[in-house]
Amino acid sequence: MVESCGLKMTPQRRAIVLTSRATVYNTLNWLKEAGMVREVFEGGFVRFDPNTSDHHHFVCRKCGKVEDIGSELISKMAFDTLTGNHKVENFEITLRGICSGCHKQ
């Protein structure tokens, strides 16, 4: 059982945490189905992105910040020739490195 800050995880508290988590996931799924957020798979985790337009991401490996990068900044590559007979409809690119804020330090 997880204990932190001297708080005990009682069965009642656990039930509240589980219910809250379910509510958060249900709400996120509802927002996704309504087209108000987009699911982004990043490093084994799922993030929900409020920016639903076509764009890419830059992830800072130091502070973990995720920045949106406009789709116009990355030219469309010849994915059709790379993937044989598959029909590519869209793509997302994740760039990884060190953000400008961390770079200055």
Positions in the binding site for Zn ion (CB under 5 A): 49, 51, 60, 62-63, 65, 68, 99, 102
Give the residue among 68, 70, 53, 71 at the shortest CA–CA distance from 99.
68
Q: Which is nearer to Zn ion, 68 or 80 (CB)?
A: 68
User: What does the CA dihedral 62, 67, 72, 78 come to, rounded to 10 degrees?
Assistant: 50
Shortest distance in whole angstroms from residue 77 CB to Zn ion = 20
Find the shortest distance in angstroms from Cβ 52 to Zn ion.
Answer: 9
Distance CA 12, CA 76 (A): 52
CB of 95 to Zn ion, least distance (A): 12
Q: Which is nearer to Zn ion, 74 or 102 (CB)?
A: 102
